[in-house]
Amino acid sequence: MIPDQPVHWLLGRLGVSSLPILPALENPTVSEVVGAGAAMVVIIGAIAVIAFITWLGAWRALWCDWLTSVDHKRIGIMYIVLALVMLARGVLEGAVMRTQQAFGLNGGFLTPEHFSELFSTHGTIMIFFVAMPLIVGLANYIMPLQIGARDMSFPVMNQISLGLTATGAALVMISLLLGQFSTGGWSAYPPYTGYDFNPGPGPDYWIWSVALAGIGTTMSGINFAVTIFKERAPGMSMFRMPLFTWTILCAAIIMIYALPPLTVAALMLAADRYLDFHFFTNDLGGNMMN
């Protein structure tokens, strides 16, 4: 961080130079062009989706029947759509990384920072925004049908889970347009991702996208477990449940145990970065093994 840089009252340290298209025009190296191209894909994709919905005249239907729906099947489908959109980005990133490695012996065409960002976003997306939404989406659709329940136990909470996960995914997409994503890998071990070693906005993108998705997925896990325990149709005893429902029950219990610590750890890292806490720093009793 440069201390003399003026700080805007609303945009903070964001400026025109945060947009990746301008550096690509000033300095058209392949690495910059790849980054700017990805940002353009996001913008054009968003415009195309908006135009398509308008052409269908489907805004009202989208809002009333889908985005505000608490129906488990629709939420499941939206989860799967989210996972597929993020999968498209994850696969493209994998292809770019492999292409870089094919030419990489003499430096390749990407800068080291760009490559680090790619493997960080690729890992984060594939774990938190492809694998998990895909499982949650399938479970949302199938599991209540299999056990004869009308809906999940907490339909509104289900909708909130989707909203949080989608917001986390949106943050990862925005990182293509504004600033950079973390270079610390999907596991983002401090102190490398701490303020001293990575003062840029990258780890913040990771923290907030993972924290939001973490809260959402924790709530999904609670929802699944409660639904399976409490909402089974008469006669559907535990040992008559299909194997898929058993799988989801086990996965839900893992979600309930694994994601709150991850979310809290991400927020502790946020406290380190913004509030001068020392959970994971090198000095003042911080301990990266915490």
User: Which ranges constitute the DSSP H helices of the chain?
Assistant: 21-26, 30-56, 59-61, 72-103, 112-124, 132-147, 155-177, 202-230, 243-275
CA distance 102 to 106: 10
169 within 8 A of 115, measured Cβ to Cβ: no
Cβ proximity to another protein: between 184 and 216 the closer is 184
137 lies in the site for another protein, by CB under 8 A? no
x-marked contacts with another protein along 62-101 as a string, rule CB under 8 A:
----------------------------------------
Tokens 């209540």: give the residue. 144
Cβ proximity to another protein: between 74 and 273 the closer is 273
CB neighbour class for 284 (10 Å; exposed up to 12, middle 13-18, buried from 19): exposed
Residue 213's contacts (CB-CB under 8 Å, 6 or more residues apart) are: 128, 129, 132, 164, 165, 168, 169
**In the set 7, 10, 275, 284, which binds another protein (CB under 8 A)?**
284
Cβ proximity to another protein: between 198 and 209 the closer is 198
189 lies in the site for another protein, by CB under 8 A? yes
**Which of the residues 220 through 279 are near another protein (CB under 8 A)?**
none
Q: CB under 8 A: which stretch of 19-27, 92-100, 131-139, 187-195 binds another protein?
A: 187-195
103 lies in the site for another protein, by CB under 8 A? no
Least Å from the CB of residue 77 to another protein:
36
216 within 8 A of 165, measured Cβ to Cβ: yes
Cβ proximity to another protein: between 156 and 289 the closer is 289
108 lies in the site for another protein, by CB under 8 A? no
CA distance 185 to 112: 13
Q: CB under 8 A: which stretch of 8-16, 94-102, 190-198, 217-225 binds another protein?
A: 190-198
123 lies in the site for another protein, by CB under 8 A? no
Rounding to the nearest 10 degrees, give the CA dihedral for residues 276, 280, 281, 287.
Answer: 130
Q: CB under 8 A: which stretch of 38-46, 105-113, 247-255, 260-268 binds another protein?
A: 105-113
Q: Which residues bind another protein (CB under 8 A)?
A: 105, 112-113, 116, 183-185, 189-192, 195-197, 199, 282-285, 288-289
